[in-house]
A and B are shown apart, each in its own frame.
Chain A
């Protein structure tokens, strides 16, 4: 029964302009299987609700919704999210709550749906949700398996597998690469990503997201220390050549 499917959401933000085409309402789902060293949404890591205490305000991050309740909230905004605009599911990792997300999407009326995912999920979960979406924003962080384990705490094998699944699903997608100085922005990694993308049976666009030194802004609010194990202030390598050489469309956003 649809109403019994529930999930934990840490924010629903309106007028987001970087989570898909047009203007969007983005649902941030709580909980993530990865532990990226540069994670900028630390409140999205744990599945449990928590109170964020900022310098001058506090807010409860993490509220349980039924899929029906969430879909109702999103559908109510439908009249203002026409055409290319729509809703996005981000996180955390939305696929950690795949059944909830899928059930919510099933109840949306004529809304363009974007999934913003790390790709780290069970294949069946990935198929379930990505198959229902109009667009997937798929993160590729590190191609080297060892480096991936070191910097995100998890294997990238499920990610690469799901990337292949995505090409087969036929859902349009964009590859997103967070550029972290000295970690993901190395020529070697960029070449590996370019080559990985160029080997796909379809040719998606690649968007590179330059690192911003304010990434650790919310750690204090979560009661955590922000001690990035890399030099935040190092110059960022934004070399697009590896992509151009392999005729992969790539841009900095």
Chain B
């Protein structure tokens, strides 16, 4: 998962207007949590009622949505135009622990249980309205009257629709009573009816999205926001109902509203809530999809300076220069987004994975980086991670002990990867996805077919992260160089050093670490091993066959938190902790995050990193996982730098890498670099007309730079 930098460094800004006083005030209030006082801590009891009425699982899920909607107190702040504030803190359980255990029997649940990390077809929901969705459910119920399962599902779906409509009605009535006819007017129409204005579309989205979270779902994304929202904005602009400034004001308020309840959303850490959206890219028919809203989202995000929504931008060699400059302005302020996806690489990889080309062109991302098709996928994009370091380290140790050739060690790596994939497949063979009647309303075809989303959609693949690939490739490169090519280290010596965590052989560790070839230098010697690791991972996914849900396994290159967990351990993680490794890494030291050179190695620079990682055969790595780079905030000082950084984005596209995550370092990162220089060796800071490796500066100068960053010059 991305680790967003929450505190943006103070930076001089030009040509960006500030938030209006109304929104500045609203942002301050929400950041300060003033609205938390309207929250209630009591958990509503849904379970008792469900037990009493002997409700089935789908019925319970629908009842939960309904009761959660009913339990919300209407909150309308005098300065709000887009409303809904969650007032019930906790989502209650549907079953007692023991009941649930009996229910799932020998099945397993994914993560917290409820469906997460998929993406609704918001465009459909907004353009149809919930009343039409309900009519669809009624028609299907008529048609499938003899199928009790379908009837039950459709009744549940209808119950959730009615719940949302009732909630909207309560808000509308309260607004009317308060004399807020503007809000009342909007909520009397949406989400029941098709949205007709930008304001209506935003309000409908806010409410329908919030109800997903009320229903226990999490990592709920927004999909291709600029694509489905633009028609409403365009209609307003054409009719003269809105101008750009007024539209930006509404959009900014919508973005701010996403922070009202986000502290209640489950995630790995604060900010990891999956409120991601996708911008740009081609349309389903292949024509360019960028529209005026694309740039507006970037401008407004720059103005709002909050971590949600997390913005992804699809790019290709034709991407508009001005759009890239706006995007780079966001990177500059250290929000950690946009994350870029290269259409030229992603779309073919999805097609190769079996997606129809129109659907592949319609891709968005799940919470972090995993490619999914809004409305069309019941995919579980993170059933686990392949631990490249474990596969590699076990092969190296066993191979050296057995007197293997290097080829034989590589064969062991492949076998280990296959075992890991098989184990993940096996562990998820009996994955049980709980019924999700409300989510089903928002997806393609569920109401039409009378089938809950949990039973599957057009795409039903499982995704597997590929964690810490660079360290693993480096370890293999070190063994190949030192033990096999140069024969300067005897297998026994390396084995002993690994087993003792280099306690008695620091000189070997240093050599492995400093002299062996490393991924990130555009050096084929190490890079071919990286490529080979991913090829073998993709082979293993192919060989694992079907996932039992009508899908297959997709290999990915992300690491989520595994780069930390594999080094230090984590409760409930199935993968073993990996000790000292042959790349000269000591036990406990973190691995590389997603796609990045190993944390403590010196590499030539960002272009070589692009070129190293561009060698991976992404056509077979369709689950996503960003190449992750840190730029110093100081790189952005001086004239013309925004333009220059856009050239780097273009270099990313030209290189043929798949996905790029750029982080701008702020003072916190620099402090961390002082404490852990080994993790930040490539950190470049700009000083005067030159740049330096931060860790090479003496402490006084480091502090000076830190001071400068604190004060933003």
Which of B145-153, B466-474, B591-599, B691-699 contacts its partner? B691-699
Report A-chain residues with C-beta under 8 Å of the C-beta of B608.
14, 77
Report B-chain residues with C-beta under 8 Å of the C-beta of A13.
605, 684, 691
B701 adjacent to chain A (CB < 8 Å): yes
Instruction: For B651, give its contact among A57, A80, A84, A211 (CB under 8 Å).
Output: A80
Chain A residue at minimal CB-CB distance from B641: A17
B607 close to A214 (CB less than 8 A): no
B681 close to A25 (CB less than 8 A): no
Within 8 A of A (CB), among B588-619: 602, 604-608, 610-611
Tally of contacts, chain A with chain B, CB under 8 A? 122
Which of A162-170, A183-191, A216-224 contacts its partner? A216-224
Report B-chain residues with C-beta under 8 Å of the C-beta of A40.
687-688, 690
Instruction: For B611, give its contact among A56, A80, A214 (CB under 8 Å).
Output: A80
Known contacts A40-B688, A214-B705, A221-B696; is-contact A23 B654 (Cβ 8 Å): no
Within 8 A of B (CB), among A1-25: 12-18, 22-23, 25
How far apart are A80's CB and chain B's nearest CB, in angstroms? 4
Report B-chain residues with C-beta under 8 Å of the C-beta of A174.
none
Roughly how many angstroms separate A117 CA and B687 CA in the complex, as a whole number? 19
Report B-chain residues with C-beta under 8 Å of the C-beta of A253.
638-639, 689
Report B-chain residues with C-beta under 8 Å of the C-beta of A213.
704
How far apart are B706's CB and chain A's nearest CB, in angstroms? 11
Roughly how many angstroms separate A211 CA and B607 CA in the complex, as a whole number? 29
B688 close to A211 (CB less than 8 A): yes
Chain A residue at minimal CB-CB distance from B644: A17
Chain A residue at minimal CB-CB distance from B651: A80
Within 8 A of A (CB), among B625-658: 635, 638-641, 644-645, 647-648, 651, 654-655
A128 adjacent to chain B (CB < 8 Å): no
B231 adjacent to chain A (CB < 8 Å): no
> Size band of the A side of the interface?
35 or more
B73 adjacent to chain A (CB < 8 Å): no
Within 8 A of B (CB), among A54-90: 54-59, 76-77, 79-85
B677 adjacent to chain A (CB < 8 Å): yes
A178 close to B689 (CB less than 8 A): yes
Known contacts A82-B654, A217-B687, A253-B638; is-contact A23 B692 (Cβ 8 Å): no
Chain B residue at minimal CB-CB distance from A82: B654
How far apart are A36's CB and chain B's nearest CB, in angstroms? 13
B209 adjacent to chain A (CB < 8 Å): no
A56 close to B689 (CB less than 8 A): no
B641 close to A55 (CB less than 8 A): no
A79 close to B701 (CB less than 8 A): no
Report B-chain residues with C-beta under 8 Å of the C-beta of A212.
687-688
B638 close to A12 (CB less than 8 A): no
B705 close to A15 (CB less than 8 A): no
Residue from B522, B647, B674, B684 whose CB has the most chain A CB atoms within 10 Å = B647
Roughly how many angstroms separate A80 CA and B614 CA in the complex, as a whole number? 12
Known contacts A57-B696, A80-B611, A218-B696; is-contact A18 B638 (Cβ 8 Å): yes
Roughly how many angstroms separate A143 CA and B121 CA in the complex, as a whole number? 68
A14 close to B604 (CB less than 8 A): yes
Known contacts A55-B699, A57-B696, A211-B688; is-contact A23 B647 (Cβ 8 Å): yes
A85 close to B647 (CB less than 8 A): yes
A23 close to B651 (CB less than 8 A): yes
Within 8 A of A (CB), among B400-449: none
B697 close to A218 (CB less than 8 A): yes
> Size band of the B side of the interface?
35 or more
A251 close to B639 (CB less than 8 A): yes
Chain B residue at minimal CB-CB distance from A90: B690
A14 close to B607 (CB less than 8 A): yes
B691 close to A16 (CB less than 8 A): yes
Report A-chain residues with C-beta under 8 Å of the C-beta of B692.
217-218
Roughly how many angstroms separate A12 CA and B603 CA in the complex, as a whole number? 11
Roughly how many angstroms separate A14 CA and B607 CA in the complex, as a whole number? 6
Report A-chain residues with C-beta under 8 Å of the C-beta of B690.
18, 40-41
Report A-chain residues with C-beta under 8 Å of the C-beta of B708.
214
Chain A residue at minimal CB-CB distance from B677: A56
Instruction: For A15, give its contact among B602, B607, B674, B681 (CB under 8 Å).
Output: B607
Instruction: For B701, give its contact among A14, A17, A80, A217 (CB under 8 Å).
Output: A217
Roughly how many angstroms separate A247 CA and B519 CA in the complex, as a whole number? 51
B11 adjacent to chain A (CB < 8 Å): no
Roughly how many angstroms separate A14 CA and B682 CA in the complex, as a whole number? 11
Within 8 A of B (CB), among A30-70: 40-41, 52, 54-59
A214 close to B644 (CB less than 8 A): no
Instruction: For A59, give its contact among B677, B696, B698, B704 (CB under 8 Å).
Output: B696
Chain A residue at minimal CB-CB distance from B653: A80
B702 adjacent to chain A (CB < 8 Å): yes
How far apart are A228's CB and chain B's nearest CB, in angstroms? 13
A221 close to B604 (CB less than 8 A): no
Roughly how many angstroms separate A179 CA and B378 CA in the complex, as a whole number? 61
Report A-chain residues with C-beta under 8 Å of the C-beta of B604.
12, 14
Residue from A13, A14, A56, A211 whose CB has the most chain B CB atoms within 10 Å = A56
How far apart are B33's CB and chain A's nearest CB, in angstroms? 39
B651 close to A54 (CB less than 8 A): no
A216 close to B701 (CB less than 8 A): yes
Roughly how many angstroms separate A210 CA and B688 CA in the complex, as a whole number? 7
Roughly how many angstroms separate A55 CA and B708 CA in the complex, as a whole number? 19
A57 close to B655 (CB less than 8 A): no
A154 adjacent to chain B (CB < 8 Å): no
Report A-chain residues with C-beta under 8 Å of the C-beta of B645.
17
B605 close to A15 (CB less than 8 A): yes
A200 adjacent to chain B (CB < 8 Å): no
- The chain B residues found within 8 Å of chain A, CB to CB, are 522, 602, 604-608, 610-611, 635, 638-641, 644-645, 647-648, 651, 654-655, 674, 677, 681, 684, 686-693, 695-699, 701-702, 704-705, 708
14 residue pairs of the A-B complex, CB under 8 angstroms, read A15-B605, A15-B607, A22-B644, A23-B644, A40-B688, A56-B695, A77-B608, A79-B654, A80-B607, A83-B647, A209-B688, A209-B689, A218-B692, A220-B698
